[in-house]
Structure 1
Amino acid sequence: MEYMTVRQAAKKWDRSERWVQTLCIKGRIKGVYRPARDWLIPAGAECPRDRRRRENRGEDGP
């Protein structure tokens, strides 16, 4: 399986590296793991939706 780093994922998804790290810590990215110090993210992983944005909350709100 191919993996990408936090830096590569941040660039691919147009997000900050810190935000991608937070997603990893919270388990919001499927297949992510941390064998040592760095996070490894599957190359085909999708960027999780940002729950803070209204268009991603649904019609009921938060």
Structure 2
Amino acid sequence: MGAVMRAQERDVRSAESKAPAPEATPRIDSAALLKGARRLLIEHDGEVYTLHLTRQNKLLLTK
């Protein structure tokens, strides 16, 4: 029975290795996004959001 389980595990690993790689998540530097500003307005689906750079150098997104 152990040999059967090992064969099944090997088949699962083989199938996983053939799966397409997930798409990479786009990445952008916050400095490039803010361009020296401390606040940025972002429109999304008809709504306006504000991205703030705080005094503690944290990003805060508000609606």
Query: Hey, which of these two has a bigger chunk of strand by percent?
Result: 2
TM range (shorter): under 0.3
TM-score, normalization by structure 1: 0.25
Larger relative contact order (Cα-Cα within 8 Å, sequence gap ≥ 6): 1
Larger radius of gyration, structure 1 or 2?
Answer: 2
